[in-house]
Structure 1
Amino acid sequence: MNSLQFPRHGDKENSPFFEEYLVKLLEERDSLGLTSMVHEIDALMITVDPGHSVKYIAELCLMTAYHYLVTLESESHWTHILRIGLESPDILVREVKDPNLRGIFRSLNEIYPVGAKKPNSRYMGEIIRVDDLHDVVKLQQEREFRFFSQDEIRKLELPGNLAVSKPSPYTHNIVAYLERAADEMRVYALGVSRIDSEVQLAYEAAKNMQDKLRIGDLLLPIDHLATRVYSQNREVAILEYLSWSSYYFWGAYNIFNQNSSTNVTKSAHGLAESKSPAKVFTANNTPYFVNHLEQLPSPTETFVRNYGPRLHHLAIAVRDGEREGFENIEFVVNAIAAQGQGFLLDVIGSREEGLKQIFSNASEHSSLIIEYVQRFGDFQGFFTRDNVAMLTEAAGREEGVRLAAS
């Protein structure tokens, strides 16, 4: 494989360090065979505080194409598996049973003023499918990447058939590997499996509402995952993720009027985003401590200072087309908004520009925003410059971002 064969998009200038090591790391990854052995994102892991998983699953099952599959119960957690099918990633929603339970993932929240208010509410990271778990881990360890031991995985109550990285110093996310052939079922070796009656009822109610609203057939799988990091960590966070995964650097755009850049990575295997979502990294162009001198907007850096570096939103694709005189994205948003779901702005973009987008309010259960995106025709991008500027500005008005650190 050649991970450097893809065209570059965007106008963001990277440092010589980034450009040099982008080539070196991807050439090494290809030559070691890692790119060929590491495949799509198999699942996303999200943890919520006690008492929040049922409502969060109901929210996801109304707003997305996901279905409740099963619950895995371990000593300190319930892990609920949501699935669309094997051609798109699962979502693992973990609920902490005891509000006093402490651990490494909680500690990543507690040093941030807004993150600390929901100490267990955080996106943890991705599970990536690999051909040979032993060989991939061995190669990554030789490259100085670190993993939790099997005893640590057991104590953290993560599936025992995963190899799990230590949290990134740049994104605070983990990467896990799952050995699975492409045609095999996904299995998570954890706890006792059962159907949770409360979750099942909430799921059925959400899907019945989807049917009533006539939006279920318009919602497609996850399109991209957007992480926000400190300005100084933009380049290293991207290079680190490319080293863990089989993604390549698609490109980056400067969003001057929001003092930030949006950076995209995609699967080098040429997989559709519905099967392996793009990973987007957003960062300020300047650090927070020069804002009082430059008087520049700083929604991204403010988010990171208040929540910590973490996933900001899940983008859900909406099927192209119209329903009852509305573009599908507007039909979906109008229907969901009528059920009480808030949005940070109106639908923006146009058919002429190639896509329309919108951000929901942040979930009170996971702190994650849902983005809806509808592409028209053969448009292949993830945003237009005007769209992403408006989305970034709107996200800066979200309540948690506006709360200044005291």
Structure 2
Amino acid sequence: MNQIFVNDDAVLLRDVDAVLAMRRQAGLEGLVGGLAAVVINVAPDDLLPAAEELLASTNLHFAAALDDPLAGDGSPAILLHDPDGADFCIKSRTSGVNPFTAHNAGAKTGPEVAARLETFVFECHDLDRYAAIQRQRGVAFLTPEPVATDAFRFLQTAPSLHTGNSLGFIQWKGRPGSFRHGQSRELPLSVDKREGPWQARIGSLDHVATRVRAAHRDAAIVEFLSLTNYRFDFAVYVESLNSITNVARLGAGDYAQVFTSGISPAGSAVADVGPTEGFIANYGLRPHHMAFATDGIEAVVAGLSANGMQFLSPLVGSRDEGIKQIFSAMSPRTLLVNEYIERYDGFDGFFTKSNVTRLTKATENQ
């Protein structure tokens, strides 16, 4: 009789211990720092609207419109800057093969959808050493050598079979955060930002949650830990929805990487599909939401609502519980949900099970 697969934290924690030991022994510990940027690809006609949508729903600011500064392939890109957190590169691939296509398709997207948060870019303190160690481990990169400019050197992995995401690594030559370089070509694109007083209450990127299949949960987390300096923190099981929210953190207050999976595979004998595995069937293997910290979440939600943003749920949580959160409706341009989150009075739990349950339930509306 075939055994029914069920995720088990005891197995995951054993593998986590092994990968942390590998990092130390290989000399990887400390080479990779915090998140510098995220790269979102969209269809050509959606480039300006997607950038303006993000400017209207965050406190990001327009920095430049350039040929894609990371790929160097002439694709147009709009850079949005956060002085206190990760920057955003919104681009539109105009030539060549899209290495993410195989992961993007779902029942509700069609086979050739371009929209995706593709790459998480982390700072790296010694890119040559890092690349040599990871290549020896068998890690595949998209280019044989780093992309070299007068401002930085950059290298990124091939998309993961477990998450569909790529990780990029950037070593600054000059001012950290300066993506403009000597070969950059300015593009005549004008991006409008609708300013609202509530936008000043929206902070930096808090976390991004990627939906992964139940059977790939452990592999996805271990792979991410092997490529970064992050550590696995905790998992929240929502048995009634066949869902686990898993959190990896660099340090308290830093950007966190979140992986959400099924407890058991969709449609197995022990579990319904649930909204997490259902999302993958509908939209492909991809990030589900980007969360932004807030200070005064009620004012933020009121401002966003007045600007026309729709939400998947009402605000969940309370000051007494230490946290409030809300999910926006999915953007048709980026296929991403925005989450807004406020933690009160030094709350250190990152999430609560009650909020995770209610927000996961809300994604059934997608």
TM-score (norm 1): 0.81
Report the Cα distance in structure 2 between the residues aligned to 1:283 and 1:189, rounded to whole angstroms. 39
1:35 equivalent in structure 2 = 29
SS in 2 for 1:177: strand
Q: Is 1:349–2:317 an aligned residue pair?
A: yes
2:306 equivalent in structure 1 = 338
SS in 2 for 1:103: coil
C-alpha displacement of 1:14: 1.4
Q: Is 1:177–2:169 an aligned residue pair?
A: yes
Q: 1:393 aligns with which of 358, 361, 364?
A: 361
C-alpha displacement of 1:196: 3.6
8 A contact 2:264–2:271 mirrored in 1: no
1:402 equivalent in structure 2 = none
Q: Is 1:70–2:64 an aligned residue pair?
A: yes
Q: Is 1:254–2:237 an aligned residue pair?
A: yes
- The 5-angstrom pairing of residues 245-284 of structure 1 reads 245-267=228-250, 270=251, 272-273=253-254, 277-284=255-262
Q: RMSD value over aligned CA atoms?
A: 2.4
8 A contact 2:210–2:288 mirrored in 1: yes
1:127 equivalent in structure 2 = 121
2:327 equivalent in structure 1 = 359
2:266 equivalent in structure 1 = 288
Cα distance change on mapping 1:68 and 1:14 into 2, 3 Å: same
Greater fraction helix: 1
> C-alpha offsets along residues 309-335 of structure 1, whole Å, 9 cap, x if unaligned?
21110000001xxxxxxxx21111111
2:288 equivalent in structure 1 = 312
C-alpha displacement of 1:289: 2.8
C-alpha displacement of 1:113: 2.3
1:148 equivalent in structure 2 = 142
C-alpha displacement of 1:128: 0.9
SS in 2 for 1:233: helix
* Structure 1: runs of 5 or more not aligned: 1-11, 320-327, 399-406
1:404 equivalent in structure 2 = none
Q: 1:103 aligns with which of 98, 111, 114?
A: 98
- 231-240 or 145-154: bigger deviation: 145-154
Cα distance change on mapping 1:190 and 1:168 into 2, 3 Å: farther
Cα distance change on mapping 1:391 and 1:179 into 2, 3 Å: same
Report the Cα distance in structure 1 between the residues aligned to 2:160 and 2:146, rounded to whole angstroms. 17
8 A contact 2:248–2:258 mirrored in 1: yes
Counterpart residue type for residue 377 of structure 1: D
8 A contact 2:211–2:259 mirrored in 1: yes
SS in 2 for 1:367: coil
8 A contact 2:147–2:153 mirrored in 1: no
C-alpha displacement of 1:73: 2.1
C-alpha displacement of 1:27: 1.6
SS in 2 for 1:333: helix
- The 5-angstrom pairing of residues 160-199 of structure 1 reads 161-180=153-172, 184-187=176-179, 192-194=184-186, 196-199=188-191
1:22 equivalent in structure 2 = 16
C-alpha displacement of 1:308: 1.6
8 A contact 1:72–1:80 mirrored in 2: yes
Q: 2:109 aligns with which of 104, 112, 115?
A: 115
1:324 equivalent in structure 2 = none
Report the Cα distance in structure 2 between the residues aligned to 1:188 and 1:230, rounded to whole angstroms. 37
C-alpha displacement of 1:146: 1.2
Cα distance change on mapping 1:342 and 1:145 into 2, 3 Å: same
2:210 equivalent in structure 1 = 227
Cα distance change on mapping 1:351 and 1:152 into 2, 3 Å: closer
C-alpha displacement of 1:382: 2.5
1:79 equivalent in structure 2 = 77
Report the Cα distance in structure 1 between the residues aligned to 2:281 and 2:130, rounded to whole angstroms. 34
8 A contact 1:160–1:190 mirrored in 2: no
Cα distance change on mapping 1:84 and 1:367 into 2, 3 Å: same
Q: 2:133 aligns with which of 120, 128, 139?
A: 139
Report the Cα distance in structure 1 between the residues aligned to 2:361 and 2:252, rounded to whole angstroms. 31
1:239 equivalent in structure 2 = 222
SS in 1 for 2:267: helix
C-alpha displacement of 1:349: 0.5
8 A contact 2:289–2:336 mirrored in 1: yes
C-alpha displacement of 1:163: 1.0
- 68-77 or 299-308: bigger deviation: 68-77
8 A contact 1:257–1:297 mirrored in 2: no
SS in 1 for 2:185: strand
8 A contact 1:357–1:387 mirrored in 2: yes
Task: Number of aligned residue pairs: give it.
Answer: 354
